Amino acid sequence: MATIYIPTFFRQITKGNEYILVEGSNVLESLESLSYLYPEIRDLIFDSNKQVLRHVNIYINNHEIHELEGLDTLVNTGDQIAVIPALAGGAMTLSTEKNANQSALKPEEVMRYSRHIIMPQVGPQGQRKLRDAKVLVVGAGGLGGPVALYLALAGVGTIGITEFDVVDLSNLQRQILHQTRDIDKPKLKSAKETLGLYNPHVEIIEHPMPLTSDNAMDIIPNYDIVVNGADNFATRYLVNDACYLAGKTLVDGAILLFDGQLTVYKPGYCCYRCLYPDPPPPGMVPSCAEAGVLGAITGIIGSMQATEVFKQILNIGEPMVNRLLLVDALTMQFREMKLRRDPSCPLCGDNPTVKELIDYDAFCGSPPIEVPA
């Protein structure tokens, strides 16, 4: 005959009784007597093999039973048995333990990003996701500028930029990363300086070359998301194909005159080739240099591209996947077209013919990009 001490949590089952007298010559028999009196308690103590659950501790006269004979420990009259559910927890699951020190946000970061962190869709965990994210921005010009700027301001930890051009006076009507004093400087250098002044915590990875079939698969797989700020068709097809082949999401934007376009290509959904299987004949679509572009439209579309990147990293909202937004700044009308994956797409269709990167200059009939010396 022993007494079993019932902790508070189990007393809802024992109708408030804290001490229960039970029959039994050992601990197992005593606990079975208790389960006989209060059947609901059995599953809280034992597993299906009649072993004590890992999260329950059994003590007899203040000794844990595994220090004694376990469930076979003999029980004498007057002994006191106690059933104690574990009280435990921990900062995180084992798989993330290694990153424990890196994951905490520093006070300066908490303050800097407080307007983001305060939103439930972001929070400290979202801010850490931003910090851990790696985003590649193709081009540091009209679109790449506002994209890289908002990513840097938000604390996206690693931003890669591919850019080979130098700052020209005619860029300054729209390209916000560069200033008058930067004329003739490599755009990449100017971009890195500007972004560093805005947020020194962000690492800018420089890729001082045009993205080509030869280097795209060395660069793109190192990033989580790619943002397109390219100004020519050859690069658009290249980035589209490389992102699909590398399994990366591509946030695409385009601008010309007073118009802008925005969409997100994600493997498994509509890609650029589904939308435009073939490039336009060379010379048919004018470039920004030939036709002009409103400076502010680069800010509109670039900011939207940055927004889509945030949504991807934070996994919130409804991405612009299978959707194409058409912006007309003159009427300030935003129209949306539904897109769908084309089963006959040469890249992402059911029977793909494009299985590796090709010669995009030949494909588009465009002269190869000239890299300034």
Partner 1 sequence: MLRIPKKIIDEMISHAIDDLPNEACGQVNGKNNKPLTVNRVKNVAASPYRYSMDPLTMLKLEQAREKTGEDLFAIYHSHVASEAYPSPTDIRQAFFPPGQFDREPMFPECFYILVSLAQDRPEVRAFKIRQGGLVEEELISSADD
Q: Minimum distance between the CB of residue 124 and partner 1, rounded to whole angstroms?
A: 5
CB of 5 or CB of 258, closer to partner 1 = 5
Q: Are 219 and 138 in contact (CB under 8 A)?
A: no
Q: How many CB atoms lie within 10 A of CB 371?
A: 10
Q: Minimum distance between the CB of residue 58 and partner 1, rounded to whole angstroms?
A: 9
Contacts of 142 (CB under 8 A, 6+ apart): 174, 175, 229, 231, 255, 288, 293, 295, 298, 302
Q: Are 200 and 244 in contact (CB under 8 A)?
A: no
DSSP reduced 3-state for 2? strand
The vertex-182 CA angle with 178 and 184, nearest 5°, equals 115
CB of 46 or CB of 269, closer to partner 1 = 46
Q: How many CB atoms lie within 10 A of CB 356?
A: 9
CB of 49 or CB of 101, closer to partner 1 = 101
CB of 64 or CB of 359, closer to partner 1 = 64
Q: Minimum distance between the CB of residue 88 and partner 1, rounded to whole angstroms?
A: 4
- Structure tokens, 74: 């003999």
Distance CA 177, CA 208 (A): 16
Q: To which H or E segment does residue 300 belong?
A: helix 295-314
CB of 13 or CB of 324, closer to partner 1 = 13
Q: Minimum distance between the CB of residue 129 and partner 1, rounded to whole angstroms?
A: 14
Distance CA 56, CA 10 (A): 12
Q: Minimum distance between the CB of residue 62 and partner 1, rounded to whole angstroms?
A: 6
CB of 87 or CB of 169, closer to partner 1 = 87
- Structure tokens, 195: 């972004």
Q: Minimum distance between the CB of residue 100 and partner 1, rounded to whole angstroms?
A: 4
Cα torsion angle, 164, 169, 172, 174, sign: negative
Q: Minimum distance between the CB of residue 228 and partner 1, rounded to whole angstroms?
A: 35
CB of 62 or CB of 333, closer to partner 1 = 62
Q: Minimum distance between the CB of residue 306 and partner 1, rounded to whole angstroms?
A: 26
Distance CA 228, CA 231 (A): 9
Q: List the end-to-end C-alpha distance of the chain, in Å, as a whole number.
A: 94
Q: Minimum distance between the CB of residue 23 and partner 1, rounded to whole angstroms?
A: 23
CB of 64 or CB of 168, closer to partner 1 = 64
Q: Minimum distance between the CB of residue 239 and partner 1, rounded to whole angstroms?
A: 37
CB of 57 or CB of 261, closer to partner 1 = 57
Q: Are 186 and 231 in contact (CB under 8 A)?
A: no
CB of 93 or CB of 331, closer to partner 1 = 93
Distance CA 239, CA 260 (A): 19
Burial track 27-50 (b if 16+ CB lie within 10 A, e otherwise) = bbbbbbbbbeebeebeebbbeeee
**Residues at the site binding partner 1, with contacts judged by CB under 8 A:** 5, 7-9, 18, 44, 53, 55, 57, 59, 62, 64, 82, 84-94, 97, 100-101, 103-107, 110, 124
